[in-house]
Structure 1
């Protein structure tokens, strides 16, 4: 019991949580601006958390990760508005999936409906990769937008599907504490969630290796 409590406290401690997440989040640099020498065919925003049945605004129904992913996807798309904006994600309600929510929010934020492509059937990253490959074909170059901690696994899935993705990570969780005040050294539930995310993604990467 003592060991279990110690492990729990360590997992909820910022220095441990950040050091577990940083190796995942730092594998790909942020995409600041578009280079001229890459023939990218689409901006692809991967799905995340979504509560379609809540009586809230469309943006209020996104989880934090989904909202930030869409925001980054729109920032990048507006630099190349001639490209399709591909939004992905299934859900229990086939008439209002994650992709439908993304599309509705993107349209409300100024993206023409004709530029938005929805992938409503994928339920995980591997299925998202296969759906994008079915749209654009073998070796298609796409700009992939997802959370920084999820990006290593997403890139593996998209490469395994025969695509040539470029990483545009966002929604960074590590090193968010301002300064090294007392709060940094006290265990907290938010740090525990970061440790959980790091372990989840590490296990996901192992699963990708076994699958491929």
Structure 2
């Protein structure tokens, strides 16, 4: 005899099917959600807040500095990074005001991250601890045996013409050392699996174009600083005919990169005189409200300072 059983699907637990409770705005007693925050009215309010904040920064800069700086401040604010910076600030304030606290915290953290990593003073502080003092060439009683200029100072344009890149001061400083009579020869380093012209060759081409004799320029490959030092060790163990035999060896690279380069050189028993250049720690200026706006240049500088510290952690 079959006994009928109640349909399990018909048994409904009210607690299971109730919608989750929405956070409540304590000040107003209304339920708040992300959708509730991004209504047309709230978005328009946020735009008004953002415009007011940006306008206040521009006027403050004009009053404290001058119109020219105020113009640059306004330009920075309408650039992508400036818009993102203003948006994260306004979004965090709007979310907190409408009771969406979690979203407010997320936007506030994003605003803080952009503000810190894109701040020029923070970037300078990050770099200043990496950059050694400028070399005193007056202390050199005789010219260097040679100067090693690490790759990275020259880029290759679309038509395969070498041009100075962001680290181009390395090439400029090397040329100054040669024309000032401070070195007998130059070694350009660097290699890459990409592109037809290697960094060492590009460095040679650039130095030749500004008056350094071809027979005084040598090349040594290496895809990164570690490989460059390994190849330089082999180069100095068996130098080519005609290479100078006596004198100290100078090492030219960006100031922020010098400590890492010298550490990797010491691991290969290479003794160099550090010749840093391309300093990124800026001179001190009076405060301007426009300095509060993050810049891509400061972010790039902060990132490279972070890269140097990470490289030390992994012994690269």
User: So what's the TM-score if we normalise by structure 2?
Assistant: 0.58
What CA distance in whole angstroms lies between the structure 1 residues aligned with 2:144 and 2:266? Answer: 15
Q: Secondary structure at the match of 1:169?
A: strand
Query: Mind listing any 5+ residue stretches in structure 1 that lack a counterpart?
Result: none
Shift in CA distance, 40/136, structure 1 to aligned 2, threshold 3 Å: farther
Q: Secondary structure at the match of 1:80?
A: coil
Contact 1:177 1:184 in 2 (8 A): no
C-alpha RMSD of the superposition: 2.5
Structure 2 contact 143–181 (Cα < 8 Å) conserved: no
Distance 2:274 2:307 in 1: 20
Aligned to 1:175: 282
**Deviation larger for 144-153 or 32-41:** 32-41
SS in 2 for 1:146: strand
What is the rounded CA distance, in whole Å, between the counterparts of 2:120 and 2:211 in structure 1? 39
SS at match of 1:19: helix
Alignment partners' CA distance in 1, 2:196 and 2:274: 30
Contact 1:174–1:194 (CA<8 Å) still a contact in 2?
no
Report the CA distance between 1:44 and its aligned residue: 0.6
> Which residue in the other structure is 1:41 paired with?
145
What is residue 125 of structure 1 aligned with on the other side? 225
Bigger helix fraction: 2
3-state SS, counterpart of residue 195 of structure 1: helix
Structure possessing the higher radius of gyration over alpha carbons: 2
Q: Which moved more, 1:41-50 or 1:157-166?
A: 41-50
In the TM superposition, residue 34 of structure 1 has moved relative to its aligned partner by 4.7
Deviations 1:170-200 (A, max 9, x none): 1111225754323323221111111101100
Query: Is the partner of 1:143 in helix, strand or coil?
Result: strand
The farther-off stretch of 48-57 and 156-165 is: 48-57
Which 5+ residue runs of structure 2 have no aligned equivalent? 1-105, 239-246
Which residue pairs with 2:119 in the alignment? 13
Matched residues, number: 202
What CA deviation, in whole Å up to 9, does each residue of 1:85-138 have, x standing for no partner? 00111123574111111101111111111000011x300001111111212239
SS in 2 for 1:193: helix
8 Å Cα contact 1:43/1:142 also seen in 2: yes
Q: Which residue number in structure 1 is paired with residue 158 of structure 2?
A: 54
* 1:3-25 per-position Cα deviation (integer Å, ceiling 9, x unaligned): 23312221111221111111001
Q: Is the partner of 1:96 in helix, strand or coil?
A: coil
Separation in structure 1 between the aligned mates of residue 154 and residue 186 of structure 2, nearest angstrom:
19
Does structure 1 residue 161 correspond to structure 2 residue 268? yes
Give the match's secondary structure for 1:64.
coil
Name the SS for the 1:129 alignment partner. helix
Superposition TM-score, scaled by structure 1 size = 0.84
Aligned partners of 1:6, 1:136: CA distance in 2, in Å?
Answer: 49
8 Å CA contact 1:52, 1:97 repeated in 2:
no
Q: Secondary structure at the match of 2:219?
A: strand
The residue matched to 1:15 in structure 2 has which SS? Answer: helix
